[in-house]
Structure 1
Amino acid sequence: MTIKEMNTPFSDGVARIIKEKGLKQVYVAKRAGFTSQELCDMLNGRKLIKACDIPKLANVLGVTVNDIYETGKGGAYAKISIY
């Protein structure tokens, strides 16, 4: 199994939510404590997304971990947030 396969669907979900919210990857990376290159590598399958990274990204994006997962699996991202 490749890193890209292991990161999916979280990498797809993060990328889609970033796009739908009109955010910049560099902004999300900085707020989550990553360099822009690290986030880019995570989203493109060159760096493993660790379990401890996912809540950081969810927090910055204002969504739940489940939102990221479901969005990455092709589900609709619920724009209504409880935050």
Structure 2
Amino acid sequence: MSIIAENTRRIIKERGLKIGAVGKQAGYQGKTFYNLLSGSKVITDKDIQAIARTLKVTPNELFGIDYISKEPNA
């Protein structure tokens, strides 16, 4: 299972949501969302955007990135 799938499942569980309801809200039909979260289907950039928008999180949160330095690269 990918880190994105793991974090998506964690966020859904923490919020007391149902996987099927989140999938439907994100625009997925049938078992497509379950397949994304189980690793049976590859998660694309469009999937990340749809999931993040539905859960009201940033894509970075789905990747598990908690902090991004705001310092310019030297």
TM-score range, shorter chain: 0.7 to 0.9
State the identity as a percent: 35
Find the partner of 2:22 among 22, 28, 48: 28
Unmatched 5+ stretches in structure 1 = 76-83
Task: Give the superposed CA RMSD.
Answer: 1.6
Aligned to 2:71: none
- State how far apart, in whole Å, the 2-side matches of 1:17 and 1:36 are: 21
Which is greater in Rg? 2
**TM-score with structure 1 setting the length:** 0.72
8 Å contact from structure 1 (residues 32, 57) kept in 2: yes
1:46 and 2:12 matched = no
Match of 2:60 among 38, 47, 66: 66
How far apart are the structure 2 equivalents of 1:33 and 1:14?
15
Shift of 1:36: 4.3
